[in-house]
């Protein structure tokens, strides 16, 4: 779920006081600022979709390690320069592949059934959010790890910002006196793919233990019962 203030290219409006509780934001498309402002030409949009489809086939056949800019260009029957112009680098390409499932997660947060979607108390929604993200990440863990850029780039990516903002909104309802934006980033650190990989693959922890740990962590941070 992307917030309009993150992606809009129009001049900023005067700031409004933060609502308590905040209303559910609108879902916007994930993309570059240039795409958001100018819109993709029809042929460019088709090229992008074809490139992502080719990259998806390569991931399915060979895993993320099999996805190179050259291989995607060959599979999509376009020049390598087209791939670089559209995605910038391999990390940008892999991140774009993840954006599709991120949009589905965002849609579930905005309009899906409770407790992940609206209609449940904020504590229940926050519990459900962490479990959903853990499962979503575990299902595509290799792709998540391959797509992770340096921290500055990763944390500034719209998909991370929108999920962190969702957590911030829920925290504001639960603990309005806290530094909710900071606490949201701390909670998001628990859901980091590298942490998930270390705990499940290297430490041998089952995913169910991490889900229970998230529920316990949220309860301790917010004071809300599990």
Q: Tell me: the pLDDT tens digits for 143-156? A: 999 888 777 777 88
DSSP per residue over 190-205, as a string? HT-HHHHHIIIIIS--
- CATH topology for the 33-88 domain: Arc Repressor Mutant, subunit A (1.10.10)
CA 37, CA 7: separation in Å to the nearest integer?
Answer: 8
Q: Residue 64: how many CB atoms within 10 A of its CB?
A: 19
- pLDDT at residue 60 greater than cutoff 80: yes
- Class of the domain covering 89-226: mainly alpha
* Structure confidence at residue 39 as a pLDDT band (50, 70, 90): low
What residue spans in the chain does CATH classification 1.10.357 cover? 89-226
For the four alpha carbons of 6, 8, 12 and 16, in that order, the dihedral sign comes to negative
- pLDDT at residue 119 greater than cutoff 60: yes
Contacting residues for 115 by C-beta, under 8 A, at least 6 apart: 121, 124, 125, 127, 128
pTM value > 0.85: no
| Predicted local confidence at residue 206, as pLDDT | 98
Higher pLDDT, 160 or 11: 160
What residue spans in the chain does CATH classification 1.10.10 cover? 33-88
């Amino acid at each position: 779920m992307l917030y309009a203030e993150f992606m809009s290219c129009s001049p900023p409006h005067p700031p409004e006081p933060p609502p308590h509780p905040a209303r559910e934001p609108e879902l916007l498309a994930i993309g570059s600022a240039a795409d958001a402002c100018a819109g993709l030409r029809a042929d460019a949009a088709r090229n992008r979709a074809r490139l992502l489809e080719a990259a998806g086939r390569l991931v399915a056949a060979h895993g993320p390690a099999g996805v190179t800019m050259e291989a995607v260009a060959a599979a999509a029957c376009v020049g390598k320069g087209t791939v670089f112009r559209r995605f910038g680098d391999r990390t940008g390409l892999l991140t774009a592949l993840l954006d599709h499932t991120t949009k589905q997660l965002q849609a579930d947060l905005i309009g899906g059934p409770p407790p992940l979607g609206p209609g449940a108390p904020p504590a229940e929604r926050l519990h459900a959010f962490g479990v959903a993200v853990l499962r979503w990440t575990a299902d595509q863990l290799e792709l998540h790890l391959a797509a992770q850029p340096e921290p500055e780039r990763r944390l500034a990516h719209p998909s991370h910002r929108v999920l962190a903002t969702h957590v911030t909104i829920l925290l504001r309802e639960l603990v309005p006196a806290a530094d909710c934006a900071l606490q949201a980033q701390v909670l998001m650190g628990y859901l980091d793919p590298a942490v998930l990989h270390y705990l499940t693959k290297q430490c041998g922890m089952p995913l169910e233990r991490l889900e229970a740990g998230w529920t316990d962590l949220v309860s301790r941070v917010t004071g809300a019962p599990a």
